[in-house]
A and B are shown apart, each in its own frame.
Chain A
């Protein structure tokens, strides 16, 4: 396989873009990435997206976005893996370049969620779960995570307020990210008193519904320096899977797909958790952050939440997470999130993260989770 690098990226601010349609959101990010890489053509475009059919009545995003960025004619298609769609598209682009099938590939992620009214977005998001045996019983996606959180608190003797550090850290880091949705800090008191959505998960455990698009440009590493002074090598991009339904897992409190993808990624990159300088994990809910840290080898079972209590996840801690706001503070436009994460790690390892720079960051990891953990994709990047 050829070594693959990121040579440019672009992102829209995450938030409510009532003036922009799905295609225009995607086009803004792709055009910004092409400009950043200094390219006017590409061999292929892969678009990560989860909900365009439900939210915009639009499938067939590959050809649509290619046409609207002036690339009509090139290979293009959409990739879907629920909330992990963005990273799944990256995996497709990575394979295309690594395998010599393409030299210049654009990978985009896009989601347009705020046009939907009432409970329809709650219904759409639940499609990541098992449509025969979970959602017919009235489960929302939030409640599936709540079932996990309740059991975690029970098995490991943890209180709800012990998770506060995940949300507080994310919001604090979002303050300095111009692309983040919530650029204001929150307090522990606000966390404890937030409105309940599906107990024990409240509003401040949860990442927000948002619009957003992000894109990266890939090429073989041996050509990367001819495009940019800041190339970022993809040392690994690996996928693991598990059952869709939580009730079908061998142990619901262990992210088996995360463990599989992380072990494959560490092996491909030839690194261990001790080598990772920062970890952009999938904090769609605070409980997911704890479980991700455990599956990735940064904490033992039941102890992931402790890293939020002792400062380990801060920018100067042992394993900084959500350094640009995470899903909680930056926002979670589901199909685009995996690309935002990769861009944030790329910013960190090239020393271009501004006020939120993690000191001496060289090797960073991003992890994108689909559903309650059925698809987990881990990417390791190095400057």
Chain B
């Protein structure tokens, strides 16, 4: 993927901006301006919450070019809470702990670098949902 292509998809990569179909109500990601459910025009932006759960996952040992430095890394299809599936890497997690149904949330991370002195490409990855960050319990207390 070249720099212009990354630029064109920046709203999707940074903020999960998709679309909503006003005919049938489908939430659409990635955006395509035609509703995949009812085939009618659909171009009203809709920003997804970024929360969802793991639908499936795989840890890659033989990577495509440009991803060698990350091996082994875990990719997943995430089912967003609004409905659509999205493909992304998982991050901040031990691959052995990943399971289908695991709650996750979107974060922005480095996807890759375009060459030795190239630009760093950022985009969405998903990490385990941090449930208790606002009200941490003292250790040892029963849940």
Contacts and interface: CB of A to CB of B under 8 A. Distances in A.
Contact of B36 (A118, A135, A140, A248): A248
A122 B62 CA distance: 8
A248 B31 CA distance: 11
A247 B65 contact: no
B131 to A, nearest CB: 23
Contacts of A133: 9, 12, 30, 86-87
B62 A198 contact: yes
Interface stretch (A55-63, A145-153, A171-179, A333-341): A145-153
Given A119-B65, A143-B60, A137 B87 contact: yes
A118 B58 contact: no
A136 B89 contact: no
A252 B1 contact: no
Given A119-B65, A138-B60, A138-B67, A245 B87 contact: yes
Interface in B53-69: 55-68
Interface residues of A, number: 36
A345 B75 CA distance: 37
Contacts of B61: 196-199
B77 interface: yes
B42 to A, nearest CB: 14
A54 to B, nearest CB: 11
B76 interface: yes
Contact of B64 (A140, A147, A148, A247): A140
A137 B76 CA distance: 10
A101 interface: no
Nearest to A247: B85
Nearest to B68: A119
Interface string B105-143: 000000110000000010101000000000000000000
Nearest to A125: B64
B77 A246 contact: yes
A20 interface: no
Contacts of B89: 137-138
B123 A147 contact: no
B123 A137 contact: yes
Interface string B1-36: 100011001001000000000000000001000001
A123 B56 contact: no
B64 A126 contact: yes
10 contacts: A136-B123, A137-B89, A137-B123, A138-B89, A139-B75, A147-B58, A147-B87, A197-B62, A198-B59, A198-B61
Interface of A: 118-120, 122-123, 126, 131-140, 142-143, 146-148, 150-151, 154, 196-201, 243, 245-248, 252
Given A139-B60, A146-B58, A148-B56, 7 more contacts: A122-B64, A136-B112, A140-B62, A143-B58, A150-B57, A198-B60, A198-B62
Closest 10 CB pairs of A and B: A146-B58, A247-B85, A151-B56, A138-B67, A123-B64, A147-B56, A123-B65, A143-B58, A150-B56, A198-B58
